[in-house]
Amino acid sequence: MAFNDPIAELLTKIRNAQLHQHVYIDIWISKMKISIISILKEKGYVSNFLVNENKRKMRIFLKYNKNRNAVIRTIKRISKPGRRKYVSHDDLPRVLGGIGTAVISTSHGVMDDTKAQSLKVGGEVLLYIW
């Protein structure tokens, strides 16, 4: 089945898997998805991920706390195919006053909001997560 928005598909699979407390999910890989998941791992929202280039698949290991509650409370797609949202480095969003993370696609690659602020680059706001 073909999807028009692979990032929304990724976020939906993460939401659904955490709702049913799955340990991992398997998705098709792309450079954008790998960049997004590496940011989520760096920020502590997922425990790990493995990429299988031969099968073009990626396995994402989800993270839970001691009570088996998901670490990711909310993951929300901001820029959609029908309506893109671009910001300059002066207007970079602060998710929940800095507690959450915004993932930005910039001319220097995909990065989180704090790194984009330090490099003073803006771009397309892909998603919010907290």
- Check pLDDT > 70 for residue 28: yes
DSSP secondary structure of 4-70: S-HHHHHHHHHHHHHHTT-SEEEEE--HHHHHHHHHHHHTTSEEEEEEETTTTEEEEEE-B-TTS-B
Tell me if 92 sits within 8 A of 117, measured CB to CB: yes
For the whole model, what pTM was predicted? 0.92
pLDDT of amino acid 3: 64
Which residue is it, tokens 């999807």? 3
What's the CA gap between 101 and 43, in Å, rounded?
Answer: 8
Percentage of the chain surpassing pLDDT 70? 98
Residue 111 tokens read as 């990065």
pLDDT of amino acid 68: 92
| CATH top-level class of 6-62 | alpha beta
Across all residues in the chain, what is the average pLDDT? 94
- Check pLDDT > 80 for residue 32: yes
- Check pLDDT > 60 for residue 6: yes
In which element (H, E) is residue 32 found? helix 31-42
CATH code of the domain occupying 75-129: 3.30.1490.10
**Same fold flag, 6-62 and 75-129:** no
All structural domains of the chain with their residue ranges? 6-62, 75-129
pLDDT of amino acid 4: 85
What's the CA gap between 1 and 90, in Å, rounded?
Answer: 40
Convert the pLDDT of each residue in 82-112 to its tens digit: 999 999 999 999 999 889 999 999 999 999 9
What's the CA gap between 58 and 50, in Å, rounded?
Answer: 6
Tell me if 124 sits within 8 A of 105, measured CB to CB: yes
